[in-house]
Amino acid sequence: MFTKISCLSLMITLILFSGCQPPPSGEAAGMRYPILYMQLQHMDLPAQLAMPVENIKPRQIQDTWGAARSEGRKHEGVDIFAKRGTPVRITTQGIVLQVGTNNLGGKVVWMIGPDLSRHYYAHLDDYADQIQKGDWVEAGEVIGYVGNTGNAKNTPPHLHYGIYLNG
């Protein structure tokens, strides 16, 4: 079981050093939900976020931030290993920016949260039925399921989770 210090350490690492690629713009969310977007803009990102995959032991978390990747890239997220199909939950409230696929992350969900932070959930096996671009989501809602899509097809199932800070 994680101690508060372990969780805080993980979250600081995620906040400072995350992502596989540049986050999508939050402009569309701001145009569709201007009041909610403004509220998010003026909210502080919580100092501690919930773990996006439940019942995780420390050995299931791999923080290889900065490790070399193909084409000169560096790994900028935290990988959370779990059984394929394990629910992935939103870590904080916000607006879903994108539900889709890309070459690196496979099936991914992007969301914008407090202080316009962008949260990236990648390598999903599938999406939750109800999740769509533009949805308002609350912490704890299921957005998808652990998998190994994209460039993780030769690795055990895991969630790549990254946070991009505004600015």
Question: Rounded to 10 degrees, what is the CA torsion of 163, 86, 40, 16?
Answer: -20
Q: What are phi and psi of 162, to 5 degrees?
A: -135, 155
Q: Give the DSSP letter of residue 53.
A: B
Number of other residues whose CB lies within 10 A of the CB of residue 12: 12
What CATH number should be reported for the domain holding residue 24?
Answer: 2.70.70.10
Expressed in angstroms, the distance from the first to the final Cα of the chain is 34
Sign of CA dihedral 104, 18, 159, 121: negative
Secondary structure class of 167 (helix, strand, coil): coil
Report the pLDDT value the prediction gives residue 21, as an integer from 0 to 100: 46
Mind listing the pLDDT tens digit for each residue in 139-153? 999 999 999 999 999
Domain residues for the domain of 32 are 4-164
Q: How large is the average pLDDT for residues 113-117?
A: 95
Mean pLDDT of the chain: 83
Query: What's the number of domains the chain is made of?
Result: 1
